[in-house]
């Protein structure tokens, strides 16, 4: 996928002025945040499970090469093939090659961030095939020709009127006067349309939440069942996954699943959790005849042994996005590449280079909520700060937020203030959005002060505002 990350500030400004996007983003707090909290509260061992999840990911990374080789040998023993790919281009070619071998026309797809990362849909289309996203959210954004804006809820920025519009446009064989006002009607229509596609598909591509070294299995988690139909019905199943998805055993996957589902959607378990191993067996009445794993590196192996190795624990739950005031204000597209929010701010510069994505680690209030909720305890603020320091030292012009660093240092020494800003951040970013939309002042400069009745003159330096703010807080005895 082509990145627009260098335009983060402009993207963000546009996002803040986009009324329908702002309406859609307002669903996040009531949805994901509350559900996660409820699910976490209900599991007495939740914090211990997070520790266990972190530890087992660390254990795996400490011998990642071993587990990848074991995984491969188990895939092969079960009749499948592993394709090692250094970069997006190799992964695209590997997939195209498999599709061509069976003369594929229709290729169904389950939701996969790696699919976005390598831009597989456009590529297959250029090569004369019809890729069809089958996750409802992905289908919607595929029709709208836009990338996902959230790693769990790809169409979270779209409202139902826009979905209806996309369906009227795409499904012209249906009655033009049909009523698509209700979400149920939209779902029914998508289900019908996609059923045809599932049954026609020659190749099914899914992502993988985990790969299991013990068995050579790939694991997917869905609520719709689209991932299962994608891999059961066509002749070929291709699972695309990045190298850090491997875990040692089935039991390890069980541990991660407990924190994944709760952190992602607040569910006790997703509706469908599928462990797939090799192609269908000789006597099986259904299932794919071939099983391929396209294993993508794309810069991850270079993160090993660096501070950013910790990021390879990420299980893509999306909790850090849901709890991020910056994400909540600007949505996912502003980040300009596949991975938005705090996890994207850390991961994207590693994968596409800091020259492209150097802005992203600045898209933070350093409120610390992301780290508080991360199920595998990735110190996201620390890693963002680390990028900023690296860039600052290099004198990279992408870093125009130097005061941000100082502000962070100040905040870090004053936990009470830090917490207050955290509490305010959600409101203030939206408020700041409705104002001038001048992003370079936010979030530490103009943002929260505006909501505190403090007439900060336009163009006042951050330090001035800061001093005023500190004085005011002291007066109010906080």
Partner 1 sequence: MDTRDRILGHIRKGLGRSGPVSSDEAAALRAGLANPKPNLVPARSQVDRFDQIELFVAMAEEAAATVDRVGRLEDVPKAVSSYLASQNLPSDIVMAPDESLDTIPWDDRGMLSIRRGVPEPSDEVGLSATFSAIAETGSLMVTSGPHHPSSLNLLPDTHVVVVREDQIVGAQEDGWVRLRKSVEENGGLPRTVLFITGPSRSADIEQTLLMGAHGPRRLHIVLVESRDSDGGA
Please measure the distance between the N-terminal and C-terminal CA atoms of the chain and give it in whole angstroms.
47
Q: Does 318 bind ligand SF4 (CB under 6 A)?
A: yes
Residue 395 interacts with which of partner 1, ligand SF4, none, CB < 5 to 8 Å by class: none
β pairing state of 106-109 and 217-222: unpaired
State how far the Cα of 342 lies from the Cα of 385, in Å rounded to an integer. 11
- Interaction residues for ligand SF4, span 159-218 (CB under 6 A): none
Exposed, middle or buried, 281 (CB in 10 Å: 0-12/13-18/19+)? exposed
Q: Give the binding range for ligand SF4 (CB under 6 A) out of 81-89, 268-276, 372-380, 401-409.
A: 372-380
Selection from 310, 314, 307 nearest residue 113 by Cα: 314
Encoded one letter per residue, x for contact with partner 1 by CB under 8 A and - for no contact, window 129-148 reads: -----xxxx--x--------
Residues near partner 1 (CB under 8 A), total:
97
Q: Give the binding range for ligand SF4 (CB under 6 A) out of 37-45, 161-169, 247-255, 373-381.
A: 373-381
> Which letter does DSSP use for residue 33 in this model?
I
Whichever of 28 and 450 has its CB closer to partner 1, that residue is 28
β pairing state of 210-212 and 217-222: antiparallel
- Interaction residues for partner 1, span 65-124 (CB under 8 A): 65-70, 78, 84-86, 90
State how far the Cα of 11 lies from the Cα of 144, in Å rounded to an integer. 18
State how far the Cα of 374 lies from the Cα of 113, in Å rounded to an integer. 18
Q: Using an 8 Å Cβ cutoff, are 344 and 308 in contact?
A: no
State how far the Cα of 134 lies from the Cα of 111, in Å rounded to an integer. 7
Q: Shortest Cβ distance from residue 306 to ligand SF4 (Å)?
A: 16
Q: Does 229 bind partner 1 (CB under 8 A)?
A: yes
Q: Does 378 bind ligand SF4 (CB under 6 A)?
A: yes
Encoded one letter per residue, x for contact with partner 1 by CB under 8 A and - for no contact, window 287-326 reads: x---------x---xxxxxx--x-----------------
Q: Does 363 bind ligand SF4 (CB under 6 A)?
A: no
Distance of CA 318 to the CA centre of its chain: 6
Q: Shortest Cβ distance from residue 242 to partner 1 (Å)?
A: 11
Distance of CA 440 to the CA centre of its chain: 25
Q: Shortest Cβ distance from residue 357 to ligand SF4 (Å)?
A: 16
Give the tokens for residue 304.
């090993």
Q: Shortest Cβ distance from residue 14 to ligand SF4 (Å)?
A: 25
Residue 454 interacts with which of partner 1, ligand SF4, none, CB < 5 to 8 Å by class: none
Whichever of 315 and 439 has its CB closer to partner 1, that residue is 315
Residue 195 interacts with which of partner 1, ligand SF4, none, CB < 5 to 8 Å by class: partner 1
Q: Given CA atoms 163, 164, 166, 171 in this order, what sign does their dihedral have?
A: positive
Q: Does 340 bind ligand SF4 (CB under 6 A)?
A: no
Whichever of 180 and 320 has its CB closer to ligand SF4, that residue is 320
- Interaction residues for partner 1, span 14-73 (CB under 8 A): 24, 27, 31, 43-45, 48-49, 52, 56, 62-70
Q: Shortest Cβ distance from residue 57 to ligand SF4 (Å)?
A: 9
Q: Using an 8 Å Cβ cutoff, are 147 and 333 in contact?
A: yes
Whichever of 383 and 450 has its CB closer to ligand SF4, that residue is 383
Q: Given CA atoms 101, 104, 110, 115 in this order, what sign does their dihedral have?
A: positive
Whichever of 271 and 471 has its CB closer to partner 1, that residue is 271
Residues near ligand SF4 (CB under 6 A), total:
15
> Whose structure tokens read 């390879």?
312
Give the helix/strand (H/E) hosting 260: helix 250-265
Q: Does 343 bind ligand SF4 (CB under 6 A)?
A: yes
Length of the chain: 478
> Whose structure tokens read 């240092």?
409
Selection from 359, 341, 353 nearest residue 399 by Cα: 359
Q: Does 315 bind ligand SF4 (CB under 6 A)?
A: yes
Q: Give the binding range for ligand SF4 (CB under 6 A) out of 15-23, 24-32, 308-316, 401-409.
A: 308-316
β pairing state of 290-296 and 81-85: parallel
- Interaction residues for partner 1, span 179-198 (CB under 8 A): 183-184, 186-187, 191, 194-195, 198
Any residues with CB less than 8 A from the CB of 55 and at least 6 apart, and which?
Answer: none
Chosen residue from 376, 407, 444, 450 binding ligand SF4 by CB under 6 A:
376
Selection from 208, 214, 247 nearest residue 54 by Cα: 247
**Interface contacts to ligand SF4, rule CB under 6 A:** 263, 314-320, 343, 373-376, 378, 380
């Amino acid at each position: 996928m082509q990145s627009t990350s260098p335009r983060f500030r402009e993207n963000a400004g546009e996002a803040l002025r986009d009324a329908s996007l702002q309406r859609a983003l307002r669903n996040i707090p009531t949805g994901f945040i509350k559900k996660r909290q409820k699910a976490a509260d209900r599991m007495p061992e939740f914090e211990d499970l997070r520790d266990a999840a972190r530890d087992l990911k660390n254990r795996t990374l400490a011998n990642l090469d071993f587990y990848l080789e074991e995984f491969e040998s188990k895939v092969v023993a079960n009749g499948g093939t592993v394709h090692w790919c250094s970069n997006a281009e190799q992964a695209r070619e590997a997939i195209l090659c498999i599709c061509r071998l069976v003369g594929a026309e229709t290729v169904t797809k389950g939701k996969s961030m790696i699919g976005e990362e390598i831009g597989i849909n456009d590529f297959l289309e250029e090569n004369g095939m019809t890729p069809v996203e089958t996750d409802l959210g992905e289908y919607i954004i595929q029709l709208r020709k836009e990338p996902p804006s959230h790693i769990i809820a790809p169409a979270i920025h779209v409202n139902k009127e826009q979905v209806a519009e996309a369906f009227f446009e795409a499904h012209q064989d249906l009655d033009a006067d049909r009523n698509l006002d209700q979400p149920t009607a939209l779902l029914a229509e998508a289900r019908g349309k996609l059923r045809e596609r599932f049954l026609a598909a020659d190749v099914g591509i899914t992502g993988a939440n985990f790969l299991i070294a013990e068995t050579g299995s790939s694991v997917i988690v869905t609520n719709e069942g689209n991932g299962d139909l994608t891999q059961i019905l066509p002749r070929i199943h291709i699972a695309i996954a990045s190298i850090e998805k491997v875990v040692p055993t089935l039991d390890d996957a069980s541990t991660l699943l407990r924190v994944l589902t709760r952190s992602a959607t607040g569910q006790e378990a997703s509706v469908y959790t599928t462990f797939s191993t090799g192609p269908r067996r000789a006597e099986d009445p259904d299932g794919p005849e071939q099983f391929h794993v396209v294993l993508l590196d794309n810069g991850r192996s270079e993160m090993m042994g660096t501070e950013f190795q910790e990021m390879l624990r990420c299980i893509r739950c999306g909790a850090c996005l849901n709890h991020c005031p910056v994400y909540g204000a600007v949505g996912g597209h502003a980040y300009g590449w596949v991975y938005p929010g705090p996890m994207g701010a850390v991961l994207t510069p590693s994968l596409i280079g800091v020259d492209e994505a150097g802005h992203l680690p600045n898209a933070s209030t350093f409120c610390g909520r992301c780290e508080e909720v991360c199920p595998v305890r990735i110190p996201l603020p620390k890693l963002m700060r680390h990028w900023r320091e690296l860039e600052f030292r290099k004198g990279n012009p992408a870093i125009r937020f130097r005061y941000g660093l100082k502000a962070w240092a100040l905040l870090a020494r004053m936990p009470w203030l830090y917490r207050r800003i955290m509490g305010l951040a959600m409101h203030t970013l939206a408020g700041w959005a409705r104002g001038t939309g001048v992003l370079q002042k936010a979030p530490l400069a103009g943002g929260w002060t505006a909501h505190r009745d403090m007439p900060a003159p336009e163009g006042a330096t951050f330090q001035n505002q800061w001093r005023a703010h500190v004085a005011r807080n002291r007066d109010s005895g906080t």
